[in-house]
């Protein structure tokens, strides 16, 4: 069906989506701006930086996860990566208590949680990508069951938590693009930059990885090493986005599906930046519209989850496990 | 030269490949034949380091496949597998271009482009070069994957049942192409085949496997013999000499 459509050049798609992303960022900074610029810059600038980081982290981690898992339905969140992060947070609040949490440096907490994330994700998800059985259904079932397990463990711990501690925890776990955790911005940005640097070095292998394990090995890629490394980087990116705004399940799927569909090539050189641009446009642009046009503030995550969920159901019903 | 030394691979205690030792000299076309489950594809996967072996050793031109750097080996040995399921939406040209990855890591040089064009032309894929793989027939897709291996331009080329999905015309063309690779380009071609007559007509050497073991090995006239075929495939057959070729009749 796509053969008949005249092919648009990938660069054109990239330029348009990047322009939209820049436009939404400019709109976010300027629309309805009143008062001193120094205040606006620091107030809106912090929020903007947070949203851009989250958009980047979710888009890149989802696209690469889909590349190494060889399917277009699973995302780190659907398979339980961010449920794992929520569980780690719950465990920390459980053992440290609200007082302990507030006195510990949030950057130290972030580092600890990210380290634990990396360890756990390697332990749990590695086997699914390297083994002989690369069944999509197995991957999905294991992921969903593990996600369920993490969520139940979290809610069990939350039930027996001191009510004061629980409020602190709930504040952290509720996805909100409006209250980006400013203390974490610095370290999150550094972590993202570091991840980006390593990804840049690995980038020639991405397209080859999408051919599947055997073809990648046949072309000389050290599949096991690269996939392990990518899982670590994905775990760090998921930690960044979850730490900043909380868990969002379907946003990554929405963004990645749009990027694969809109980009007329499967080359990651185009798909990755297009996905990031779409994520920024959706997040920042959506926030502008909700804040300025509808002047209600908290619902962006709900709107995004709603549309993301619809995309997920559509992909499942279409039945193409691609 | 590919040296396979005492290679063993088992699943849950059942040896799929059982202490196979085999030397494939450089040059020529070698066919591997045998019934289903004889371990042909597994052996090919082990030689091309897609699958780890439990015991034994494989040397390609003296390089141990277990500890040679992936890209060094990828410039020396290539493999086309049976099931080539790809999620990404790729055009034929995109796919063939991947064959140059071991050389240029994704940044195509003029030399690479020349290789790509030549491989596409060699398999008569020019009319489809810009089509997506999911818009091709099974046979066209098969040829696209062969073009990718051709583009990788290695001394050793392994093919796991390349005639699957092909009609007679394309099967014959494919075998002639593999023959030319061996004759004109001095490549070492190893093919897993199901059709004994194709093996008999086009091979310099035939390796017969059964139950994970090496059964017979030699020139077609040594292996394509009723008693031996009977032992390998458990089917009554007669062998007729037609010109230079020995044809097997297992229909009556």
Per residue in A204-223, pLDDT (tens digit) is 899 998 888 888 999 989 88
* ipTM rounded to 2 decimals: 0.88
The predicted pLDDT at position B23 comes to 93
The predicted pLDDT at position B188 comes to 94
Does the predicted TM-score (pTM) go above 0.90? no
Per residue in A97-139, pLDDT (tens digit) is 777 777 778 788 888 888 888 887 777 666 666 555 556 567 6
Q: Is the CB of A210 less than 8 angstroms away from the CB of B74?
A: no
For residue A33, give how far its alpha carbon lies from the nearest alpha carbon of chain B (Å). 44
Cα–Cα distance measured from residue A211 to residue B146, given in angstroms and rounded to the nearest whole number: 15
Residues whose CB is less than 8 angstroms from the CB of residue B37 and which lie 6 or more positions away in sequence, other chains included: B16, B211
Of A204, A212, A265, the CB nearest to B106: A204
Per residue in A44-58, pLDDT (tens digit) is 888 889 889 999 999
Is 70 exceeded by the pLDDT of residue A89? yes
Tell me, letter by letter, the H, E, C secondary structure of chain B: CEEEEEEEEEECCEEEEEEEEEEECCCEEEEEECCCCCCHHHHHHHHCCCCCCCEEEEEECCEECCCCCHHHHHCCEEEECCCCCCCCCCEHHHHHHHHHHHHHCCCCCHHHHHHHHHHHHHCCCHHHCCCEHHHCCHHHHHHHHHHHHHHHCCCEEEEECCCCCCCHHHHHHHHHHHHHHHHHCCCEEEEECCCHHHHHHHCCEEEEEECCEEEEEECHHHHCCHHHHHHHHCCCCEEEEECCEEEEECCC
Q: Average pLDDT, stretch B108-118?
A: 92
The predicted pLDDT at position A303 comes to 75
A183-188's contacts with Cβ under 8 Å and 24+ in sequence apart are A183/A106, A183/A107, A184/A106, A184/A107, A184/A110, A184/A243, A184/A244, A185/A46, A185/A49, A185/A50, A185/A53, A185/A244, A186/A107, A187/A107, A187/A110, A187/A111, A188/A53, A188/A110, A188/A240, A188/A243, A188/A244
Count Cβ atoms below 10 Å from residue A153 Cβ, excluding itself. 16
Is 50 exceeded by the pLDDT of residue A4? no
Q: Is the CB of A207 less than 8 angstroms away from the CB of B88?
A: yes
Per residue in B63-102, pLDDT (tens digit) is 999 888 888 999 999 999 877 777 778 899 999 999 999 9
The predicted pLDDT at position B118 comes to 92
Q: Is the CB of A221 less than 8 angstroms away from the CB of B132?
A: no
- Could you identify the residue written with the tokens 């003029």? B110
B49 contacts on A by Cβ (under 8 Å): 217
Is 50 exceeded by the pLDDT of residue A167? yes
A130 contacts on B by Cβ (under 8 Å): none
Q: Average pLDDT, stretch B118-137?
A: 89
**What tokens does A19 get?**
């322009």
Which of A9, A203, A220 would best serve as a mutation to test chain B binding (most B beta carbons within 10 A)?
A: A220
What is the pLDDT of chain A when averaged over all its residues?
A: 82
């Amino acid at each position: 069906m796509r053969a008949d459509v005249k092919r648009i050049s990938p660069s054109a798609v990239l330029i348009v989506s990047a322009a939209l992303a820049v436009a939404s960022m400019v709109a976010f900074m300027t629309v309805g701006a009143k008062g001193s610029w120094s205040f606006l810059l620091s107030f809106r600038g912090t929020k903007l930086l947070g949203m851009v980081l989250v958009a980047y982290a979710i888009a890149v981690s989802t696209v690469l996860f889909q590349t190494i898992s060889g399917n277009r339905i699973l995302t780190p969140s659907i398979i339980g990566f961010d449920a794992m992060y929520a569980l780690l947070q719950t465990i920390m609040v459980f053992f440290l208590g609200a007082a302990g949490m507030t006195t510990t440096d949030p950057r130290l907490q972030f580092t600890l949680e990210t380290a634990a994330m990396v360890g756990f994700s390697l332990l749990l998800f590695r086997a699914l990508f390297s083994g002989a059985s690369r069944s999509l259904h197995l991957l999905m079932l294991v992921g969903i069951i593990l996600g369920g397990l993490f969520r139940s463990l979290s809610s069990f711990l939350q039930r027996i938590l001191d009510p004061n501690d629980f409020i602190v925890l709930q504040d952290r776990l509720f996805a909100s693009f409006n209250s980006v955790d400013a203390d974490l911005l610095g370290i999150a940005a550094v972590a993202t930059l570091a991840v980006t640097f390593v990804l840049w070095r690995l980038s020639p292998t991405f397209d080859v990885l999408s051919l599947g394990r055997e073809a990648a090995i046949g072309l000389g890629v050290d599949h096991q090493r690269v996939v392990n490394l990518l899982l670590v980087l994905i775990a760090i990116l998921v930690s960044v986005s979850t730490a900043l705004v909380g868990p969002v399940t379907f946003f990554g799927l929405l963004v990645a599906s749009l990027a694969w569909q809109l980009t007329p090539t499967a080359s990651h050189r185009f798909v990755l930046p297009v996905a990031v641009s779409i994520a920024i446009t959706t997040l920042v642009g959506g926030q502008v519209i909700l804040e300025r046009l509808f002047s209600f503030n908290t619902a962006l995550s709900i709107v995004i989850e709603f549309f993301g969920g619809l995309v997920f159901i559509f992909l499942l019903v279409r039945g193409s496990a691609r | 030269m590919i040296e396979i030394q005492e290679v063993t691979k088992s699943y849950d205690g059942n040896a799929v490949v059982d202490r196979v030792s085999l030397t494939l000299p450089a040059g020529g076309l070698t066919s591997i034949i045998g019934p289903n489950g004889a371990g042909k594809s597994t052996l090919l996967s082990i030689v091309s380091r897609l699958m780890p072996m439990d015991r034994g050793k494989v040397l390609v031109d003296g390089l141990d496949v277990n500890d040679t750097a992936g890209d060094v080996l990828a410039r020396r040995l290539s493999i086309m597998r049976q099931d080539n399921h790809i999620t990404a939406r790729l055009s034929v040209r995109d796919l063939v271009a991947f064959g140059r990855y071991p050389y240029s890591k994704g940044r195509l040089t003029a030399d690479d482009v020349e290789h790509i064009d030549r491989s596409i032309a060699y398999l008569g894929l020019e009319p489809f070069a810009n089509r997506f793989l999911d818009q091709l027939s099974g046979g066209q897709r098969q040829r696209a994957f062969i073009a990718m291996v051709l583009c990788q331009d290695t001394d050793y080329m392994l093919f796991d049942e390349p005639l699957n999905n092909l009609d007679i015309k394309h099967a014959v063309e494919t075998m002639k192409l593999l023959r030319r690779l061996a004759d004109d380009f001095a490549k070492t071609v190893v093919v897993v085949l199901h059709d004994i007559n194709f093996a008999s007509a086009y091979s310099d050497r035939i390796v017969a496997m059964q139950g994970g073991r090496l059964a017979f090995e030699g020139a077609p006239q040594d292996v394509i013999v009723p008693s031996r075929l009977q032992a390998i495939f458990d089917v009554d057959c007669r062998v007729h000499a037609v010109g230079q070729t020995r044809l097997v009749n297992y229909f009556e």
